[in-house]
Amino acid sequence: MDELDTTEVHLRLMIENGRTPQTFLGEEFMPTAMWKAYRAVLAEMLPDDEWEPIATVMGTVDHHRMFLAAKGPGAPLDAEDLKNIAEAARLIHENREHLESATPINE
């Protein structure tokens, strides 16, 4: 959950500022380390209809990080970039809320 929160904050800050961060912090920018370490556990714990949306969103974070880093520190974001970032932030927010209320599979 922390990674979802952090990634959403990073995305919303870029929307507010209209540019990429002044400094990229590698994996700390839009982090996914915990997701990568525990996604198999979540996949086993959650029903498919709850797992698939979060897996889809988290599967795009590395791509977004690389795309934004390639623009360079403090680079202005155009309208299309901001639209895509806003959509990613919305999806992460929705999935975070959904995950908070998810019911684990009891076997």
Residue 64: inside a domain, yes or no? yes
pLDDT (0 to 100) of residue 102: 62
CA distance 14 to 34: 23
Domain of residue 46 covers 2-100
Residue 40: inside a domain, yes or no? yes
- Number of independent structural domains in the chain: 1
Residue 76: inside a domain, yes or no? yes
pLDDT (0 to 100) of residue 97: 80
Residue 53: inside a domain, yes or no? yes
Residue 105: inside a domain, yes or no? no
CA distance 14 to 86: 9
Q: At residue 27, does pLDDT exceed 60?
A: yes
Residue 79: inside a domain, yes or no? yes
Q: What is the rounded average pLDDT of the residues 53-67?
A: 89
Residue 106: inside a domain, yes or no? no
